């Protein structure tokens, strides 16, 4: 990285003596250098680049600052000092890309901008992928109706009790905001009741109907899971009931793979391993457990071959079985070592 850093130092030393046009060109070159090599710079090197960015930005025109913000805004490891400078820029075309996208922009700077900048800045902040409670409190208190609605619509926004109180107060005589707030799943029930008392008849009917639909859907899912658990408990040993429900859920989501089975076995999760093998082989858990008890582990070897497991996964299962039932060694080689030789030489 020596050559790029030497160029950065040269840029830094020539800032004072350059024209505005020259500074804009220098800024573009510096941005190119950072974006190309950002994953290779040390913290000290990024700090140096950051300082040069800040010095350049203080002396260039708005269009160049806006271009820099557009290029740095989406970069997860963009230098923090220049991000703060751009975020606090009075020109919204400069601040917006950073306020909306910059992951490395600290919460304190965002709160400062929310407290001091204009409504366009607040609207940009309201669209971020993450909005902590301390930030939403400022947005819904100081923002105009557009900002408040945008914040309430943001599914990633977190609200404190104070923030929700402000939302409900701001919702008066605003059907769109009332509906949006009322449909938030994180709105506490007692605050939902307060919201309804001030809502128009039309909005009240909509919210009640929507919340009832959501509640009935949740109740249906809970009933299905409860029924599955009760059935499993009635037909399987108690220690496998929860494990089988979990494994079935993983299977329905398409995530029950050889890797997941190996994870269960490696972490010593015996019941989940048995339940997963049972589901993958279409054999009852009792039969799988009997195979796990086999001192020579030959039954497990045959089972693993039949369902297409890798040797790494099979070895993890055998190790778990050996620990569980304390299988003894014999003939100078452990049962797992013998199975490994059989596996690779196909000697059944």
Share of the chain above pLDDT 90, in %: 36
**122 within some domain:** no
CB-based contacts of 107, cutoff 8 Å, min separation 6: 132, 134, 135
Asked whether residue 336 carries a pLDDT value surpassing 50, the answer given is: yes
DSSP type of residue 117: S
Please give the pLDDT value at position 114. 97
Q: Count how many domains the chain has.
A: 2
pLDDT at 344: 66
pTM of the model: 0.58
pLDDT in tens, 243-261: 777 788 787 777 888 888 9
pLDDT tens for each residue of 203-214: 887 777 676 554
158 CB-near residues (< 8 Å, 6+ apart): 131, 132, 133, 136, 186
pLDDT over 70 (residue 216) = no
| End residue of a domain, out of 72, 105, 138 | 105
* 123 located within any domain: no
Average pLDDT over residues 68-89: 94
Q: What phi, psi does 328 have (nearest 5°)? A: -85, 160
Rg (CA), the chain: 31
pLDDT for res 238: 46
Q: What is the pLDDT of residues 276-285, one digit of tens each?
A: 998 898 888 8
Q: For 64, how many CA atoms within 13 A lie in the half-sphere containing its CB?
A: 20
> In the predicted model, is pLDDT for residue 239 greater than 60?
no
Query: Is 167 in contact with 159 (CB distance < 8 Å)?
Result: yes
Q: How would residue 151 be classed by pLDDT, with cut points 50, 70 and 90?
A: very high
Identify the pLDDT of residue 66: 93
Res. 221 pLDDT band, cuts 50 70 90: very low
194 falls within a domain: no
Would you say residue 28 lies in a domain? Answer: yes
pLDDT at 345 (0 to 100): 59
Q: Which pair of structure tokens corresponds to residue 133?
A: 């409670």
With a cut of 50, say whether residue 1 has pLDDT above it.
no
User: What Cα–Cα distance (Å) separates residue 307 from each residue in 271, 304, 311?
Assistant: 19, 5, 12
Structure confidence at residue 45 (pLDDT): 81
Name the domain boundary from 43, 72, 105.
Answer: 105
- Residue 17 is predicted with a pLDDT of 56
Residue 13 belongs to a domain: yes
Q: What is the pLDDT of residue 287?
A: 83
Dump strand ranges (E) for the chain.
Answer: none
> Which residues make Cβ contacts (< 8 Å) with residue 38, sequence separation at least 6?
46, 75, 77
**Ranges 54-63, 77-86, 228-237: which has the least confidence:** 228-237
Residues 344/305, Cβ–Cβ less than 8 Å: no
**Chosen domain end from 81, 105, 129:** 105
Asked if residue 2 has pLDDT above 60, the reply is no
Q: Give φ, ψ of 188 to 5 degrees.
A: -60, 145
pLDDT (tens digit per residue) in 110-142: 999 999 999 999 999 999 999 999 999 999 999
Residue 347: its pLDDT value, please? Answer: 46
Q: Which two tokens mark 246?
A: 């979990």
What is the span of the domain harbouring residue 272? 237-345
Instruction: Give a yes or no: residue 1 inside a domain.
Output: yes
Closest CA to 167 of 201, 139, 203: 139
Q: Is residue 339 part of a domain?
A: yes
In this prediction, residues 83-89 reach a mean pLDDT of 97
- In which band, very low, low, confident or very high, does the pLDDT at 21 lie, cut at 50, 70 and 90? confident
Q: Quote the pLDDT of residue 254.
A: 76
Asked, for residue 3, whether it belongs to a domain, the answer is yes
Distance (Å, rounded) from C-alpha 185 to C-alpha 159? 12
pLDDT at residue 289 in the model: 84
Number of other residues whose CB lies within 10 A of the CB of residue 295: 13
With bands split at pLDDT 50, 70 and 90, how would you rate the model's confidence at 218?
very low
């Amino acid at each position: 990285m020596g050559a790029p850093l030497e160029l950065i130092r040269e840029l830094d030393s020539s800032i004072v003596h350059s024209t505005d046009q020259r500074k804009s060109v220098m800024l573009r070159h510096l941005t190119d250098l950072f974006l190309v090599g950002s994953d290779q710079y040390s913290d000290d090197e990024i700090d140096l680049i950051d300082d040069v960015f800040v010095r350049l930005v203080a002396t260039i025109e708005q269009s160049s600052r806006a271009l820099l913000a557009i290029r740095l805004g989406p970069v997860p490891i963009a230098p923090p000092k220049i991000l703060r400078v751009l975020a606090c820029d009075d020109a919204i075309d400069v601040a917006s890309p950073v306020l909306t996208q910059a992951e490395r922009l600290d919460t304190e700077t965002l709160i400062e901008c929310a407290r001091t900048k204009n409504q366009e800045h607040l609207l940009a902040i309201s669209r971020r992928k993450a909005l902590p409670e301390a930030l939403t409190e400022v947005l819904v208190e100081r923002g105009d109706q557009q900002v408040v609605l945008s914040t309430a619509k943001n599914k990633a926004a977190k609200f404190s009790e104070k923030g929700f109180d402000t939302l409900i107060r701001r919702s008066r005589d605003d059907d769109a905001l009332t509906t949006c707030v009322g449909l938030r799943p994180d709105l506490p029930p007692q605050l939902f009741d307060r919201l309804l008392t001030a809502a128009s008849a039309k909005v009240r009917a909509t919210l009640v109907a929507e919340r009832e639909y959501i509640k009935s859907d949740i109740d249906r899912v809970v009933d299905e899971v409860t029924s599955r658990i009760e059935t499993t408990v009635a037909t399987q040993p108690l220690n496998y009931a929860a494990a089988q429900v979990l494994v079935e859920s993983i299977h329905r989501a398409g995530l029950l793979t050889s890797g997941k089975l190996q994870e269960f076995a490696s972490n010593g999760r015996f019941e989940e391993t048995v339940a997963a093998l049972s589901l993958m082989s279409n054999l009852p858990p009792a039969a799988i457990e009997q195979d796990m008890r086999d001192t020579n582990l030959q039954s497990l070897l045959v089972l693993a071959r039949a369902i297409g497991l890798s040797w790494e996964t099979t070895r993890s299962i055998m190790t778990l079985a050996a620990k569980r039932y304390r299988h003894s060694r014999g003939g100078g080689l452990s049962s797992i070592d013998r199975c490994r030789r059989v596996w690779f030489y196909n000697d059944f």
